[in-house]
Structure 1
Amino acid sequence: MPFESELFEAEVLAAFPAEVRIPARTVADALAASSESSPRMLVVLDDDPTGTQSVADLPVLTRWDVADFTWAFNHRINGRRQDAVYVLTNTRSLDPAEAAARNEEVVRNALAAAALEAGGAGSRLRLGFVSRSDSTLRGHYPLEPDTISATVAAVSGEVTDGVVIVPAFPDAGRVTIGGVHFMRGTGDDAGKLTPVADTEFARDASFGFANSELAKYVEEKSKGRFRADSVIVLTLDVIRAAGPDGDPQISAKAIADAIDSATDSTPIVADIVSENDLRALALGLDEAERRGKKLLYRVGPPFVRGRIGQEIRTELSGEEAYAGNTPSGAGGLIVVGSHVGVTTRQLKALVEQHSAARIVEIDVEKLLGGNSAGYLGDIVRDVVESLHSADVILHTSRLLIKTDDAAESLRIARTVSAAVVAVVNRTLKTFPPRFVIAKGGITSSDVAAHGLEIRHAIVRGPMLPGIVSLWEPVDGPAKGIPFVVFAGNVGDDESLAQVTRKLSNTF
């Protein structure tokens, strides 16, 4: 679909039908009906932990042994097994070979655990697999869905018919219209749309790309294995086929019909502008699967919420964040690792507003220059001493050191992340903070799994509307300490300060 250089969302949407109004309960009821004879659970392989920001009250794993899946499959929240479990793979920080190996291991162990689980009348737990990645198209594609589908086929013999690609994240301003993925403008640019390939995210050192039209993006990233004209595109004409007051099943049938020809992992991309669109898509995918289609999903954060018919959770208050636990009198720890522009602006706003906080910087050049052990020891002492009376803002220096070599850029990122993890872990073991906020996808993942040694957690809900998730660690040394996963590329300039203010006792 061709677009002019300056785009306004209202004008672009005028060419399409109005959204279909669909309550979350309609999707949940359809899922329950499909699972009546054989319970089903989505296993979400999250390439960084920020995929949890759109859901609530679901189990999260940072380890994926069979025993970990057994815990997740048996864990009950409000008396019932949940419809999805998130597995923090952190593969966006890995090279392709490592990412593929990790995806395979997760899928094999999940299938092994499911084979041991009996549901009602002795039926086995069925699994669906979701490859959750970035709403700005960064990540190991098509490697990850390829690996998942190949592993499922090797273990169970089940062949994937279609890979459904849904990067949209309307809560954070990422929408897909006419098969083109956009970022919404903010502030003075509100109402405008920018093709995602024209943003800073497309210039990512490891995962850059040139195309905003998703069919062409698929061809680009698959190096021509999937041609753009072979991609099935579910435009808003299909997603909204029922019209605003029509029967949602009309849209569901139109979607299922549109993907009926999918075979051998055919890529399927979907327009999404609103939560209603996600729910319409969920009903269509459920219909397609009931007809026998075997689907795998490559998606942005809100897809799972829509797919399982979960209501949008209102943002948590500070009191809710500490519910069931007694907050300590220590200061909180805010860890900032992301280098995207919005993160740097959020950090600046937090520092300016939170005058009581102690600022501790990890100088990346010093870290890479040698004697890192002694340097980090000084950082830990500074952080621990400060936590006795204040919140601590721990951030890496804002100068991003990178090279033209993607592998070397990843190596540098890992070195920096390892340093951040070491500081957090040694701090936790010495003087546990009141709360921890981790800003940045890879930063959040490493802080959760290694810095705080979280193995099992429950995502309780968002700290801001639709974004920024709160985890409750259920075991390990961080049990009872609220942990906030804050993606690098979401929120406005004030968002980090707003979340910190909710949890802090000195802000």
Structure 2
Amino acid sequence: MAQILVVADDLTGSNATGALFARQGLHTVTVSDLEQVPRYADAVDVLVVNTGSRRFTQAESYDAVHAAVTAAAGDGLVVKRVDTTLRGNPGRELDAVVDAVTVGDASTPVRVLAVPAFPDAGRTTVGGIHLVDGVPLTRTPVAQDLFNSVRHSRITSVIGEQSALTTAEVPLDVVEDGPDRVLEALRQPARVLVCDATDNEHLRTVAAAAARLTAEDGTRWISLDSGPFGAALAAELGIRPAGAAPRVLAIVGSVTEATNEQIARTEKALGAHYVLMDPDDPAPDPQRIVGELQAAADSGAGVLGVRVAPTAVRDPAAAERILRCLAEVAVHAVDALNPGGLYTSGGDVAAAVTGALGAEGFAIEAEVLPLAVAGHLAGGPHSGLPFATKGGLIGGPDAAVACLERLRAMHTRGAPRAPGTPGRPGPSGDPDADPDGSGTPHNSTSGSNHRRAEEVSS
């Protein structure tokens, strides 16, 4: 069965969340017809079921979500995807997930992590209050939504209006203190734990603490979130693509402070392993570096890279020597490791590497973020190899993670599909649409519950 089941209440939210898992290299499919669930559940890593229930009555929402979880009949991670502004019936749909998951099994502790923050889209939670660009929900237009008005800014109140599940809050100061403090907070007996978060690091902190509790006592978590937290929790729980995970090679020549922070994020979020190159070494050995990369690959690392030690390089001759070595490492590593994608940081590095690989050009597919693009090498012996490049001074702390995840998603597009699976579209759009920015629209359908299969969302 699928390792992850996502149940969402509208199609754009379904595809948006599916895109986040696809960026991790997980083969992801969205369906909107319960009859399609058994067909795809055994063929994908992540099955996203769109119930189309946002405008349903509470009773109708419960029935639709309960049926979706029951049809999937798995024991993996269940994510109840909610709107980033908590519209719809989140409390009642959460009840449906809990009831469906716990039926017939009283031995496994089942609890809920409610972390609806989507920091990249300006949705944050502070003091249990959900905010849009810093404004409480009840002071935003969603409070006047004709179909799904939100009457509370406090998440526990939104849930409690429809559900009798016990709730507790994990405040921001606890989250900022790190996983140990969060782990203590997660041990309290409430069934639903609402966690504050204002940035992506907070999401990872909560996810890391939750994974530790699972390792300790077998707790099975249900995630109630708008997408990013569920993806973070899956990563911390060690959920990986079935079969061989896509391997990505990173060649990092930039030594800026921004790059150092971005590299640290890739190590923490993706388990990246880097071999350090000494910029003062008068005769760096590319074969030694490739050998260390091969050893890391043999140990299971999925993101492998070489980086220049963060020391200021002011000698032009040294800079040229570094570029030549990095380019030679790329050539030998691509041959030895057969990566599913190649990432470079630094404009000179990108030019040196593509030249050494014999590429004639670069087929651009998408802008991952401003001045960071992804596509494929064009021409030469490695034509078609997914490639992403970013300037050394470009992007925030998660910029390199975004580029590497983009490469994983591009690799996943070639994964085997269930018989009859429609052709894959690429995700794009707003936070309640598709966040990874490929610019290719998803297939869509009309009707109150989209009564047919949708698409591969990776």
Residues 424-443 of structure 1: matches in 2 within 5 Å? none
What letter matches 2:105 in structure 1?
S
Distance 1:287 1:103, change over 3 A: same
Inter-partner Cα distance in structure 1 for 2:106 and 2:35: 20
> Which residue of the partner structure matches residue 59 of structure 1?
28
Q: 2:225 aligns with which of 299, 302, 307?
A: 299
Residues 51-450 of structure 1: matches in 2 within 5 Å? 51-56=17-22, 57=25, 58-63=27-32, 68-69=37-38, 71-75=40-44, 82=45, 84-111=46-73, 114=74, 126-157=75-106, 161-184=110-133, 193-222=134-163, 225=164, 231-242=167-178, 251=179, 253-263=180-190, 266-290=191-215, 291-309=217-235, 317=366
- Do the aligned residues in 2 keep the contact of 1:61 with 1:68 (CA within 8 Å)? no
Inter-partner Cα distance in structure 2 for 1:476 and 1:483: 20
Q: TM-score, normalised by structure 2?
A: 0.50
Q: TM-score, normalised by structure 1?
A: 0.46
- Over residues 11-50 of structure 1, what are the superposed CA-to-partner deviations in whole Å (9 max), with x where a residue is unaligned? xxxxxxxxxxxxxxxxxxxxxxxxxxxx992211122223
Matched, 1:41 2:22: no
Inter-partner Cα distance in structure 1 for 2:21 and 2:223: 17
Report the 3-state secondary structure (helix = DSSP H, G, I; strand = E; otherwise coil) of the residue aligned with 1:91. Answer: coil
1:63, CA displacement in angstroms? 5.0
What letter matches 1:213 in structure 2?
R
Report the 3-state secondary structure (helix = DSSP H, G, I; strand = E; otherwise coil) of the residue aligned with 1:130. Answer: strand
Give percent identity, aligned residues only.
Answer: 22
> Gaps (5+ residues) in structure 2?
237-268, 271-340, 344-363, 377-400, 442-458
Report the 3-state secondary structure (helix = DSSP H, G, I; strand = E; otherwise coil) of the residue aligned with 1:298. Answer: strand
Distance 1:490 1:66, change over 3 A: closer
Distance 1:67 1:197, change over 3 A: closer
> Which residue of the partner structure matches residue 190 of structure 1?
none
- Do the aligned residues in 1 keep the contact of 2:20 with 2:231 (CA within 8 Å)? yes
Question: How many corresponding residue pairs?
Answer: 277
Inter-partner Cα distance in structure 2 for 1:102 and 1:476: 26
Inter-partner Cα distance in structure 1 for 2:96 and 2:109: 11
What letter matches 2:21 in structure 1?
V
Q: 1:486 aligns with which of 429, 436, 439?
A: 429
Distance 1:215 1:101, change over 3 A: closer
Moved more, 482-491 or 138-147: 482-491
| CA-based RMSD | 4.3
> Gaps (5+ residues) in structure 1?
1-38, 76-81, 115-125, 185-192, 243-250, 324-460, 502-507
Distance 1:321 1:93, change over 3 A: farther
Report the 3-state secondary structure (helix = DSSP H, G, I; strand = E; otherwise coil) of the residue aligned with 1:139. Answer: coil
Inter-partner Cα distance in structure 1 for 2:59 and 2:194: 26
Report the 3-state secondary structure (helix = DSSP H, G, I; strand = E; otherwise coil) of the residue aligned with 2:203. Answer: helix
- Do the aligned residues in 2 keep the contact of 1:316 with 1:462 (CA within 8 Å)? no
Report the 3-state secondary structure (helix = DSSP H, G, I; strand = E; otherwise coil) of the residue aligned with 2:150. Answer: coil
What letter matches 2:28 in structure 1?
P
Report the 3-state secondary structure (helix = DSSP H, G, I; strand = E; otherwise coil) of the residue aligned with 2:223. Answer: strand
1:476, CA displacement in angstroms? 8.8
- Do the aligned residues in 1 keep the contact of 2:2 with 2:47 (CA within 8 Å)? no
- Do the aligned residues in 2 keep the contact of 1:211 with 1:220 (CA within 8 Å)? no
1:161, CA displacement in angstroms? 4.6
- Do the aligned residues in 1 keep the contact of 2:365 with 2:375 (CA within 8 Å)? no
Distance 1:283 1:273, change over 3 A: same
Report the 3-state secondary structure (helix = DSSP H, G, I; strand = E; otherwise coil) of the residue aligned with 1:486. Answer: coil
- Do the aligned residues in 1 keep the contact of 2:203 with 2:232 (CA within 8 Å)? yes
- Over residues 88-123 of structure 1, what are the superposed CA-to-partner deviations in whole Å (9 max), with x where a residue is unaligned? 222224333332222122222222xx4xxxxxxxxx
Distance 1:182 1:298, change over 3 A: same
What letter matches 2:425 in structure 1?
P
1:268, CA displacement in angstroms? 1.1
- Do the aligned residues in 2 keep the contact of 1:40 with 1:128 (CA within 8 Å)? no
What letter matches 1:267 in structure 2?
V
- Do the aligned residues in 1 keep the contact of 2:126 with 2:198 (CA within 8 Å)? yes
Inter-partner Cα distance in structure 2 for 1:153 and 1:475: 29
1:287, CA displacement in angstroms? 1.9
What letter matches 1:260 in structure 2?
R
